[in-house]
Amino acid sequence: MTVKPDMLSLKPDLMSILPQELSADDGDDPMVDGTAELALRAVQYLGIPYRRGGTGPTGFDCSGLVRFVFGEVLGLKLPHRAEEIVNMGQELKSKDLEPGDLVFYNTMGRRNSHVGIYLGDNRFVHAPSSGGVVRIESMELAYWKKRFNGARRIDVASLSSR
């Protein structure tokens, strides 16, 4: 995939932290204008502080980050609750995850209370919690493995035709 220069304008050093499937230049990857661009855009907001109810680049909560990125990249308006977003798109097995897919976790004692954007290499980007900042996490960490509830791929065509 060819990374568009403006996609990395906020964080010029991103190429060193991106998973191989996002940073490789293979020319004609059809994902460049779809879900992989979601992942690339999400990492531009690394370091932005967590803000409960936050929906913009001055502060995000988990679903606010997802909603903002989907709106910015695809022009889609997703709900602002992980519990609602999980009802959209198609369910995926972990082995089928691709950059830009959504991963859901139980972090508050209820299913699908947290959401992040999958990057590849078993990593995802999310706005974690009060006092935190948007960051990349490994899905292999015991904390996240124990709380994983599933993954979804948003069907962009069906949502944009609504």
Q: Hey, which residues are catalytic here?
A: 62, 114, 126
User: Which amino acid is present at 101?
Assistant: D
Distance, CA of 83 to CA of 63 (rounded, Å)? 9
Chain centre to alpha carbon of residue 72: 13
Distance, CA of 105 to CA of 115 (rounded, Å)? 6
Distance, CA of 40 to CA of 33 (rounded, Å)? 11
Q: Are strands 59-60 and 123-126 parallel, antiparallel or unpaired?
A: unpaired
Query: Can you tell me whether residue 5 is helix, strand or coil?
Result: helix
